[in-house]
Amino acid sequence: MRAILTGFLMLFVAAVSAQDITVRGSVKDAAGDPAIGATIRVQGSSTAGAVTDVNGNFTITCSPRATLDVAYIGYETQSVAVNGRNNITVSLSQLTTDLNEVVVVGYGTQKKVNLSGAVSTVKMEDVLGDRPQPNVAAALQGAIPGLFIGSGSNSPGQTDKTIQIRGTASFSGSNNTVSGISPLILIDNVPGDIDALNPEDIESVTVLKDASSSAIYGARAAAGVVLITTKRPKQAQRVKVNYSGDVGFVNAVSRTKQVSTEDYIQVYKDAFNTNQYTGAQNQNLDDWLSYLQQYKAGTLAGVTDNGIYVAPDGLRYYLGGGDNNGRMLETGTSWNHNLSMSGATDAIRFRMSANSYNEDGPLYSKKDTYDRKSINGVISADLAKWFTQELDIYYTQQNREFLQDETGALFGQRNVDFLPDGRDPAGYLIRTPRNIIDVSNVRTTLIETPRIFTKSIFRPFKGLEAIFEYTYQRKGTDFNYYSGKYTMTDIQLNVLKGPDHDYSIARRFYESRKAINAYATYRFEPWKEHHFSVMGGYNQEFWSYSYYNTRAEDQAIMDIPSMSGAQGTVTTSDVFQEYALRSGFFRFNYDYAGKYLLEVSGRYDGSSKFPKDSRFGFFPSFSVAWNVTNENFMKGTSSWLTQLKPRFSYGSIGNQTSVGYYDYISSMALNTQANVWLSGNANDYVTVIGRPGIVSDKFTWETITTLNVGLDFALFNNRITGSFEYFVRKTKDILSQSVALPAVLGDDAPMQNVGAMKTNGWEFNINYRNHVGPDFSYRIGFNIWDYQSKITKLNFNEEKSLNYLYEGKKAGEIWGYETTGFYTVDDFSDLSTWTLKDGVVKVDGVSPRPGDYKFANLRDGDVDADDVNRINTGKNTANNPGDRKVIGNTTPRFQYGINFGANYKGIDLNVMLQGVAKRDYFANGPYFYTLAAGDGIWMPVFEGTTDYWKPLSQDASSPDYYVAANPGAKLPRIYGNVGNGGYNRNTNTKMLQSAAYMRVKNITLSYTFPKNLLQKVFISNLRAYVSAENPFTFTSLPDGVDPETLSWSYPMYRTISFGLNITL
Amino acid sequence: MLLAIAAFTGLVSCNDDFLDLEPKGSVTEASAFATFETCTDYSLNLYNVFNGPNVNAAAVYFQGPTVNYSSGLGSSQRDIWSGLLTQYTNGYSTIPNMYAAQTVTIPTTSAAYSYPYQMIRTANILLEHLNDGDLNDAQRKHLEAVARFFRAYCHYALLLNFGDCIYVDKVLGENSEELMGSRSSRLFVADQIYKELQWCESNIQDDLAEPNTINSDVVKAFMSRFCLFEGTWRKYHNVAESGEYVSGTQLLQTCVAVSKDLAAKYPTLYTGDNNDKHPGKGWGQMWTTENLGKVPSVLLYVKHVEDKKMHRLGHYEHIASACLEMPQSTVDLYLTVDGLPIHNANVKTYDYNGLTKTYTESATPYDYANADSYKTFRKRDPRLWQMVTPPYHVINNVGTNGWVPDESNDGIYSEFIHQFAPRGNKKTDASGNPYWDSPNFNVAYHQVETHKSLPSTNWAGNILPGVPHTQMSDNANKYTNGKIGYYGGKGFQRGKSSYFVWKHVANWDRQDPTFTADISDKPVFKMEEVLLNYAEAAFELNQFNQSIADVTINRLRDRAEVGRMNVAAIDENFDPDRDKTVAPVLWEIRRERLIELMGESFSFDDVRRWKKGDWFVNKHHYGAWVNSDNLDAVVSRTGGQTGVMNNASHLEASPAEASAQGGGHLYYYLDPKKAGKGWLDKYYLMPIPTEELLLNPNLQQQDAWK
């Protein structure tokens, strides 16, 4: 109705524009100073406007009945009716949303200005905008400093990403690697599945990074907390209906690339010193080259459609093919639809939403798809002035189909490029990636996640709010697969048939969680400016998991697979797990006049995962902060320094994430399918009762202590905002299986509290926003963070063996040799027995040849007295590492995110980048080295691996015998099969790679249609957008080796989408 | 507020039931050992000591880390170490055997050290719980004997590799003093093993033992093995003995006693089934028979059942990763079919007539050690043919699997094709001509009834048209004008010496490219070994004579269809190639042992206990002989020009040298002595892994390795 009225008003305004007047005005900011650069716009018009000058003055021509909107960065936009006046003075008031913004914290909310812990928060709307990213974790990548989102193994729908806060935290359960701990991910205060959420249903995401802010969540929150708050309607508003939808086109970011067949043949000749293609049928390599030439010239007759030529002697020559990884990929499509309705009266508020997302991934065919449907309804009713009841029901169904590769070769390293798709002349399908996809069946995973959340809020008297929450959620997974059978042929023309027995698998997993939270907050102000708030609460959770698996072989009718139709072996298995938690928690806040802030919180936690005597732990923490800018003496700087808040926090939390469900009970497995001993009478599996492990019932909680120093700042009326954090996180009593015990024990050592580690890091983020003229505004945000971890204490490995962690070890360090060049013929005194000259560095266990890497002799005497000028691994300890040293580190350093936005007259551009500035990586596979150390005859040659050392002659009588043809080569000499290939693949400086990268995560361009046009058709908002997810990646790694996964597997993909967002 | 906290704390901690959760559906240590049946189910873990290399494909040749070394399961790793076999790899002019190349380093960790202790723990846990449940005396005794057998077996594995070692006879905890103990003397450890086995022998309940589990005969067979090892070790390593412990002589006497018992109880050896027609098939079929339960001389074996438990040994011997070959020096150890060493004065040589398929004594005798492959294999101990693919050539005429015999040159290429069954099914091609089609063994079992046949194929039935096959030979098949071709091999089978090992290959078995799929059973303890132990121990006690030879060596010879051993005929000159420091008869007993147990990894331990590391390990490894008119068929692809050896210098021959010496052996590797390397006496015992020394300051490294 109002829209219609406004429309009429607009028409009227247009009709009377002939009588426009000139209005002069001045705009003042909160301090009474001129507001420079404020924009003035006539309401309802998209263009007409003015900007204040250095004195805060403006002039505008408009109707005497017009209303002017005055906007200024950091201030609330004010509407002023002209009412025929020629002179107007506008005093702006500061925007409250920035500093008075309320942030969700543990069991409550806090004004951002009053936060004293390390808390980052983002509004999903800001992160997502029009970006059609359907996965919450993927959307958050690069958005929050300290929050790491790993691509894991990519999967359709971008699900199952790893999440970590502030990097490695422990080495639980391991004696040779450190690991991150997953943070506690809470959806409305209860752990939940992030993949089941539609980002559109999320209001905000808060990350609690230090102990002081996460301690309230106790033993599961040791590595931080991600708090996800779903959308719910707030104050009274009219009913709004929103639809957004987009269609996207999906393709792989990159793929591995091989050299041409001609180049491959040359490498093959060099490697095997042969003119036969011994990997297959002993084809003659020169003939092959000549057939290739003729085929390309079009002069070769009798070649099959897919480029196979059967020569007169019956040998097959592959002349077509090429880019087999390209042939396995295609452009998939994705569809996304969101519909939401919300509205509220004074007493009842509701929101309903539905989402449907489906995607056909980048692999050829429709065998990599993901489909998610979710529906959410929230209702909140004020039943009495002192009582509000909320009910939130969320249901999600995820359906994933993914091909099961029975050949194991889909992403293999042996798929030689020249093999074509289709069939070979004998009629068999050739084993190429695309053909594998064709014959593979899909496994389907259906995940249903219903969740019921109720919340009762009592406000019996002023200052007290008591809340009772009950959550029930369930995750039911149905997994089904039927293998079928395939027949294929490989490069040796062997006919491969698989699997041995066709089999069906049905698995059902059920995971359920019941949680109760009861907590109350009392706020009071006993004396003026002394603000107190006390919160106390109780939490209990019960989680249970059951797993049933049935596998049945040999279907009677292969077209109709079923469990009951199986003729062969049927096996079943099951697993049951449970845990329970019961805890009390509290938080105490005090502030004086918003200047001095204090928060103390803690939790008393009990967990069923621990033996009775060490089951409970108490974990307190505190933080303080000082709002310097609220001090009177800071008045003088208030024109530019809007906020300055140093913070300090300290606390420790127990960690139960690294503990198994029943670690303190000695159990013995029943094995029925292992390679058990079969007596003469047995023709089937027999049951073996497995050996019990050594169990210690003395272990206790790991404890993670975090010290955090932070500084929040804002400049120039919040035009620049930012914060800096420095943290030291110490994990002690880390639970692990130590290697302290000699092999004589006969078993792995039991879990014990074995050591401590320390992680130091910092985070920095800064945001800047401004505008040029009334129509162009822009913002840029940058965040960067870094950490490094070190083992500080260990009760085992006192000798610092490099096989295990050792005290003083920096996490991620790479030990390797320093490459000094190649061995040359001048290094040998006898070329027939390959005896090295005196003084030339020797290698233990290896007889070097010209063209092998030569490593620097860094230390002598590590093995024995004769260890002089010999390359070896010494005692394999940090103190006696032989000739190795730390040559790099795999820890991702300086992870950063950049986002940029600009708006011009309804056109919006948003760009998001994310990357790692420094990271080392060493790999010796065929993407990096020529062929492989063994079985090279079947290896393809990948681009970038052809610069290898070559001899001028292999003829012993030639003066050029093993003299280097290319002494400056990057890669060592290639050996056909074994030789010194393994030696050259030792970790070394020359082949250390950089895994640093920068990825443009998203570029979105949108256009908002002018309101005055829309109002005529009763639409309140309409936007159209185009968005590119993962459009560009900058890395020095070979094609196909993604810097996030460091392998060639289901590829990271990019999506280009086109969408529309409409609000009624 | 404090009150509130106190209240919550009270609420939280007083109600513990909610937090007491027990695992559902699993057995705990407290409840597992309730009955004879559950204890027996647990005891099956112990048999894993026999499983390792057999089920783990990667371990077949490249690992031999654990106590499985002598389980007879085809892990040939230790035969490579002893120099009897070679793992041929690309690496021209290297020394592949780390013991010959002196590239053995002290490992940081070693399964050979840690695995026995794991199984000792498994046994000790059973021993500790035998009184928990409801077992009668006989049942308890039987399981105690089984557990003690394995405990002895594992200590033997430690003794064998490391000599002195820490002895463990109870379940250890994190704080047990044994963890920080020093090594006990081998005298003590051997004494413990000896007593343990004696206890087992008198207490094991054969009526409670299921077929193919530990029984008194298995205990005796192991005693026979252990006693021979330790008895001869003491003798040849001059171990100073002490009256406190069992002596070397007593051990040898026990070996003779138990072996004699078993020899009387099991007089029959396996002669194989009649589907195969080649001589001496009993030896070969020991490794390729589906059910060893029916084989009279097998006391314990690893049973394989389709879809339940399979291995890949056969498959592994004809895929590219297989590169197990026999050097000429080992081929020369095999006797002629008459039972004579090849350089014995009375040895005969034979000509083969391909048309009549008959042999006549050769008018111009040749030297078996320096003759082409056909001559080398002709009229030799048939165990050589079962171990190494004999020479042949066929014509690959239809697809990759079809073939016909190459009857050119008077049928000389079919000499051994006729000894073996032809591989595949007889079919007719489009023009009506018959040919053989080799089935795809990937598909099923028992498509063919034979065990070994020619031509060799891979698991997909692709045939290898010719042997000798070597990577050094030219692509072209030079099977013309009576010449023997040196075939380039196929991707799946590509030799370097032309002596390609095919011991575990069985036609009827199914060889799958990706999944473990062979089901032939493999022996663990068998009479053949016991007889050899008997003969050797008897000799060491000066008891060996013709009548013992007849119940030991000659039983093996009869079954292998080789001439019998005539003890009286063995004098100083019987084998001119003999190690002159070894008595002539003992040399023949040892030869028989090496040949009979070839590929089972016994030889490294034998060579060490005989203190003969240098004699065996330092042998230069080279391949088959190439006649001078055939030198052009072998084109070196390895670095030199000829690819054959100069007999005098043991380096690669120049073309002139090669023709001057009338041909030469395929040359690939360096002579260890030539390169200034070779066996070191410290190799007689393995070094203790450094990690263990770091963890236990009281543990001392072997003196020779310090």
Interface touch B443/A872, C-beta < 8 Å: no
In the prediction, which pLDDT does A739 show?
Answer: 61
Interface touch A832/B93, C-beta < 8 Å: yes
Tell which residue, B40, B5, B71, has the closest CA to residue B602: B71
User: What are the Cα distances from residue A156, in Å, to A134, A252, A332, A357, A1031?
Assistant: 11, 12, 11, 12, 18
Structure confidence by residue, pLDDT tens digits, A727-754: 999 998 888 876 668 899 988 877 788 8
Mean pLDDT of A573-577: 87
Q: Is B11 an interface residue toward A (CB < 8 Å)?
A: yes
Question: Does residue A965 register a pLDDT over 60?
Answer: yes
Q: Report how far residue A474's alpha carbon sits from residue A543's, in angstroms, rounded to the nearest whole number.
A: 10
How close A534 gets to chain B, by Cα (Å)? Answer: 8
Interface touch B20/A612, C-beta < 8 Å: yes
Residue of A nearest to B655 (CA): A957
B533 vs A7 pLDDT, higher one: B533
CA A658 to chain centre: 21
Structure confidence by residue, pLDDT tens digits, A925-944: 999 999 887 777 888 999 99
pTM of the model: 0.78
Interface touch B50/A677, C-beta < 8 Å: yes
DSSP-assigned letters across all residues of A807-845: TTPBTTEEEEEPEEEE--GGGEEETTTTEEPTTSPEETT
> What is the ipTM score, two decimals?
0.85
Q: Is B644 an interface residue toward A (CB < 8 Å)?
A: no
Q: Which residue in this structure is represented by tokens 């939270």?
A: A517
Which of chain B's residues have a Cβ under 8 Å away from the Cβ of A271? Answer: none
Q: What is the mean pLDDT of chain A?
A: 87
Q: Is A278 an interface residue toward B (CB < 8 Å)?
A: yes
**Can you list the residues of chain B whose pLDDT is less than 50?**
1-7, 9, 14, 53-73
Q: What residues does A901 pair with on adjacent strands?
A: A779, A910
A74 vs B348 pLDDT, higher one: B348
Q: Mutation test of the interface with chain B: which of A668, A953, A957, choosing the one with the most B Cβ atoms within 10 A?
A: A668
Q: Which long-range contacts (CB under 8 A, 24 or more apart) does B613-616 make?
A: B613/B99, B613/B679, B613/B681, B613/B683, B613/B684, B614/B678, B614/B679, B615/B579, B616/B82, B616/B83, B616/B84
Query: Is A212 in contact with A728 (CB distance < 8 Å)?
Result: no
Give residues 205 to 224 of B whose Cβ lies within 8 Å of A.
210-213
Interface touch B42/A688, C-beta < 8 Å: yes
Q: Report how far residue B293's alpha carbon sits from residue B211's, in angstroms, rounded to the nearest whole number.
A: 8
A878 vs A45 pLDDT, higher one: A878
In the prediction, which pLDDT does B30 show?
Answer: 77
Query: Is A827 in contact with A813 (CB distance < 8 Å)?
Result: no
Q: Report how far residue A363's alpha carbon sits from residue A327's, in angstroms, rounded to the nearest whole number.
A: 9
Q: Which residue in this structure is represented by tokens 């409840």?
A: B31
Structure confidence by residue, pLDDT tens digits, A771-780: 887 788 899 9
In the prediction, which pLDDT does B71 show?
Answer: 33
Q: Mutation test of the interface with chain A: which of B12, B55, B398, choosing the one with the most A Cβ atoms within 10 A?
A: B12
Residues 6+ apart with CB under 8 A from A297: none
Mean pLDDT of A1010-1022: 82
How close B470 gets to chain A, by Cα (Å)? Answer: 12
Q: Chains A, B: CB contacts under 8 A, how many?
A: 325
Structure confidence by residue, pLDDT tens digits, A817-856: 999 999 999 999 988 778 899 999 999 878 888 999 999 9
Structure confidence by residue, pLDDT tens digits, B585-636: 999 999 999 999 998 888 999 999 999 999 999 999 999 999 888 887 787 7
Interface touch B462/A494, C-beta < 8 Å: yes
Give residues 369 to 428 of A whose Cβ lies within 8 Å of B.
407-408, 426
Which of chain A's residues have a Cβ under 8 Å away from the Cβ of B51? Answer: 675, 677
CA atoms within 13 A on the CB side of B566: 9
Q: Provide the residue type at B224 as one letter.
A: S
Interface touch B18/A582, C-beta < 8 Å: yes
In the prediction, which pLDDT does B512 show?
Answer: 76
CA atoms within 13 A on the CB side of A558: 9
How close B272 gets to chain A, by Cα (Å)? Answer: 19
**Residue A577: other Cβ atoms inside 10 A:** 16
Q: Report how far residue B140's alpha carbon sits from residue B149's, in angstroms, rounded to the nearest whole number.
A: 14
Structure confidence by residue, pLDDT tens digits, A304-349: 999 999 988 778 899 988 899 999 999 999 999 999 998 888 789 9
Task: Return phi, psi of residue B635, to 5°.
Answer: -110, 125
Q: Report how far residue B47's alpha carbon sits from residue B55's, in angstroms, rounded to the nearest whole number.
A: 13
Interface touch A746/B13, C-beta < 8 Å: no
Q: Is B20 an interface residue toward A (CB < 8 Å)?
A: yes
Residue A484, sorted as left (phi over 0), alpha (psi -120 to 50) or beta, turns out to be left
Which three-class secondary structure state does DSSP give residue A325?
helix
Mean pLDDT of A882-887: 95
Q: Report how far residue A495's alpha carbon sits from residue A234's, in angstroms, rounded to the nearest whole number.
A: 67
User: What are the Cα distances from residue B502, in Å, to A738, B323, B522?
Assistant: 44, 10, 15
CA angle A965, A971, A976 (to 5 degrees): 85
CA angle B662, B663, B668 (to 5 degrees): 150
Which of chain B's residues have a Cβ under 8 Å away from the Cβ of A798? Answer: 694
Q: Report how far residue B290's alpha carbon sits from residue B285's, in angstroms, rounded to the nearest whole number.
A: 9
CA A418 to chain centre: 35
Segments in B269-370 forming alpha helices (H): 281-285, 313-316, 328-331
Residue of B nearest to A799 (CA): B694
